[in-house]
Structure formats: structure tokens, C-alpha cells
Amino acid sequence: MEEINEKANYCLNCPVKPCSNKGCPLNNNIPAFIKAIKEKDLKKAYEILSETTVLESVCGRICPHMKQCEGSCVRGIKGLPVSIGDLEAYVGDKAIENDYKIPMSNNTKIDKKVAIVGGGPAGLTAAAFLLRNGVSVTIYEKYNYLGGLLVHGIPEFRLPKDIVKKTIQKIIDLGLEVKYNFELGKNLKLQELEKDYDAVFLAYGANITTKMGVDGENLFGVFGGNQLLEYKNHPDYKGKKVAVIGGGNVAMDCARTIKRLNAESVKVIYRRAEEQMPAEAKEVQEAKDEGIEFLFQNNIVKIIGKDKVEKLELIKTELVQKEGETRKVPVNIENSNYIIDIDYVIMALGSMPESFTNDLGLKLDKHGYIIIDENNQTSNKKIFAGGDIAGGKGTVAWAARSGRDSAKKIIEYLKKD
């Protein structure tokens, strides 16, 4: 507790709150909850956070804080920023330990039913904010557990699963109904949900790994990073050389997981410079500390092999400022090609929606994401969508923000109906 008090007292309680207004996707009232910690009123701190989030213990651990709240902290201008993530996780954990309930927003019951497809961060947050406002909610989840990528996408060493389970239980305790083992496109039809519920919220994510379009991608030994983390169908890495392609958190999670599974070597290959990596700097440093090698400003030309991956052809890149681009872009350097021995290649370049999304009868953009308007409504006004499936920014906090915003818009829609 002494360490937490020291971290809390370091906060200046800025009236302009750049950490909240500029840095936090959820606009958590950061100075206010930290002030409550200083006053040793953890329940009040939890209630302040609960106004905007229900994933305190999760976001406090895994958010890219230096790219968000801590990166906007005034104290960080001349020194270290306030440890906002640690403080948020502490409050969330204490709320679990002391069984603080998620506060209800009001005592009014809205006699309407909403179905949510997908129990990840967006779906769970939407469910919580709907339930808190008196709406009946049922989540349809394809697995036999809730949490989505919080469970199967983020390794245990970054996010303990017992914390996830206890965080979700607080949402269930609001009166959430869950129907497990229901998957859209298989044993669940959107038309039936539309008929049985007053509104539907699609929040099932987009977890199919994007490919590069290079020769050799279909060889045995090339895997999608998203699917590896989700399904855990890892090959035997013992004594093998592995290349992970990408620079985001999925790439870091894959590399660090594979290193723990006894790979001889793991190389992260990224076509841009280190400072351009989407991954949190601390995740990159921890990967380096674990013996993972980084090849920056390198691009894949070809994956080489007869039946399985044997080698990888790379080309070095230079960063060029092009007109209309906000950051320098990588351009291949001619005649800089070289070849390395590799046994497995993991693509961690981003993700896209599953193919059944094309059959839902909703308007999609050119990348296959569901198009939504300013009210988070799809081309079918009774159906809302949010999170990754609607092309949202790929972090838990942004997915949660999308779920919270969608809940607000759904409530407005239900009240008009």
C-alpha cells in the first residue's frame, strides 16, 4: 500500500486532465480516482472509474499506457509520468477482493431486450452499460467462456486469467444472461435474433490473420498469429528457428509465447523503424530482455521451401517521407536482399473479419468490416455493431469505448421505439 500511496501522491491532479481528455480512449476521470486513492477511499475510486469503464483490472494491466494516458501525463514532460495503469489495476483488484458491486446508473427498468453477439471487451462493456440502465441483455458466445481475446488472445504472463474471470463475474452479477456455444453463421442466425429482440449488437471481433501476398505463404510452417493465440495449435518449436512478422502487440505476444515454448531462436521482423512500432515500448523491451531478436527496416520478399518453410528472403528498407503521408514509409532498397534459415513463419500483420460476415445482409466496406453510422447502427437500423468487426482501433480500451458508446445509442433507440 505504501508504494501505491507514493504513486498516487506523485499525481498533480491537473485541472485540464490531459491524461483523461487526450490520452484515455474511455475518458476515465483519472485525477479524480487517484485523488480518492490519496484519501484512502478505494470504493469511491472504484465508483469514479465505474462511471466510464468496467474493465479496470484488465486495462490497468494491458493498455499501451505510454501511447495513451501516461503518454499525455504532464509529469512526463520533465520526468517519469504517473503510473496510471498500476493505480487503475490496483483499484480494480481491490474491488474484486472487497466485492464492490458495479453501481447501477438508475433504478428505472426499460422493458426491452437486447442480444449481443460476442463476449469480448466490446460486447461485455456494452452489456454492462445496458444492464446498468435497466435493459435486459443476453450475450451469445461461440465458446464456453466469456472474454474473447482477453482469454485466448493475450497470454497469461501479461493478463492473469483469474483476474479476467473475476472481472467478468461482476458484469454477470448485474443480471446478464449468457448463451454459450452459439456461433453466428453456424447455429445462430441474425434474422432470428432480429425477430426475438428489440435490438442486436454485433461485437464478435475480426480475428482472421491478414496475409502479405508473397510467394510461399501457403507452405507448411506459415501460421497466422491471431489463430495461434486463439486456438493454441502450436507446432513443436523445440530446436526450431521462428520468424514473427509484424510490429504490434499480437506480434509481441506471439514472439514471447513461442520463446517460452522452447524455440531455439525467435526473430521479430518489422519493415519500419523501432520507434514506429505500434506495440508498447515496454513490451518490446521485455521481449528483448527475453532474448528475442529484432530485425527493423526489413521486409519479406519470399518464403522459400519445397513442402515446408526452409528459408526466408528479406530485403532492407529505407524510410522516405512521401506527400500525403503523416509518417515516413518503408521503401525497399535495391540489391539489399539476403536469406536466412527459418523453420516457422508467424504472420502478425493485422486481422480481418471472418467470411460469414459477407452473408449477414449488411453493408460492408472494401475490407469486409461492417459499416456503421454515427449512432453505431448498421444498414439495418435495428442492428448495431462495434469493436473490431466495425473497423475499430485494435486495443481493448478502444473496443470497450465502442461497446459503451453503442450501449448509449441502443438505449436512445429503445426509448424512441
Has residue 161 been placed in a domain? yes
The grid coordinates listed for 70 are 501516461
Q: Is the same domain home to 223 and 194?
A: no
Domain boundary among 317, 347, 377: 347
Q: Is the same domain home to 378 and 316?
A: no
Q: Is the same domain home to 232 and 300?
A: yes
Has residue 367 been placed in a domain? yes
Domain boundary among 323, 347, 371: 347
**Cα distance between residue 167 and residue 396, in whole Å:** 14
C-alpha distances in Å from residue 98, one per residue of 92, 101, 174, 180: 10, 9, 17, 29
Has residue 174 been placed in a domain? yes
Domain boundary among 312, 347, 382: 347
Q: Is the same domain home to 335 and 392?
A: no
In the chain, the number of structural domains is 3
Q: Is the same domain home to 259 and 331?
A: yes
Q: Is the same domain home to 194 and 156?
A: yes
**Cα distance between residue 182 and residue 139, in whole Å:** 9
pLDDT at 105: 85
Has residue 106 been placed in a domain? no
Q: Is the same domain home to 189 and 294?
A: no
Has residue 9 been placed in a domain? yes
Burial 224-237 (b: 16+ CB within 10 A, else e): bbbbbbbeeebeeb
Successive 10-residue mean pLDDT values, the chain, 417 residues = 92 94 97 97 98 98 94 94 98 98 86 97 98 97 96 94 98 98 95 97 92 93 94 94 96 97 97 93 94 98 96 97 87 97 96 92 95 98 96 90 98 90
Has residue 107 been placed in a domain? no
Domain that holds residue 186: 113-206+353-416
CATH value at residue 247: 3.50.50.60
Q: Is the same domain home to 188 and 281?
A: no
Q: Is the same domain home to 25 and 49?
A: yes
Q: Which residues pair with 331 in a beta bridge?
A: 318
Q: Is the same domain home to 221 and 335?
A: yes
Long-range contacts of 256-263 (CB under 8 A, 24+ apart): 256/155, 256/157, 256/286, 256/287, 256/290, 256/292, 257/155, 257/228, 257/229, 258/234, 258/346, 259/287, 259/290, 259/291, 259/292, 260/157, 261/234, 261/237, 262/237, 262/238, 263/237, 263/238
Determine the residue type at 131.
L
Q: Is the same domain home to 247 and 295?
A: yes
Has residue 104 been placed in a domain? no
CATH value at residue 82: 1.10.1060.10
148, 163, 201, 109 alpha-carbon torsion, rounded to 10°? 160
Has residue 13 been placed in a domain? yes
Q: Is the same domain home to 227 and 341?
A: yes
CA atoms within 13 A on the CB side of 384: 30
C-alpha distances in Å from residue 253, one per residue of 228, 257, 295: 10, 6, 17
N-term to C-term CA, the chain: 50
